[in-house]
Amino acid sequence: MTTWRVALALERRELDGQTIAYCDFTGDTFQLAPLTRAILDSLNAGPADTPTLSASAARVLGESPAAVETAVADTVSDLESLGIIERVSL
């Protein structure tokens, strides 16, 4: 099972009910969806696998893990392609 960790630190700010993130390394700015914010919050606490991220996001969003599983997997893939998270070798 793949485990993930944060690869690039993002500076986050709340602005009019939205979460905006800035990456010093790349200079990129992102608007974080609630699901993305929940995933990054979980990974900021330490490395986690996708089922753990799904369970954590589901708790934050008030959904079942099964209901968010596909969206979490897609978001993790997007975050990896942006270089924000990376796979951990155990």
Check if the beta carbon of residue 71 is closer than 8 Å to that of residue 35: yes
Could you tell me the sign of the dihedral formed by the alpha carbons of 23, 26, 27, 30, in that order? negative
Whether 84 contacts 76, CB under 8 Å: no
Q: What is this structure's pTM? A: 0.89
**Is-contact 72 41, C-beta < 8 A?**
no
pLDDT for the residue numbered 9: 83
Angular region, 6: left φ>0, alpha ψ -120 to 50, beta rest = beta
The pLDDT, as a whole number, for residue 90 is 66
Residues of the chain with pLDDT under 50: none
pLDDT at 63: 95
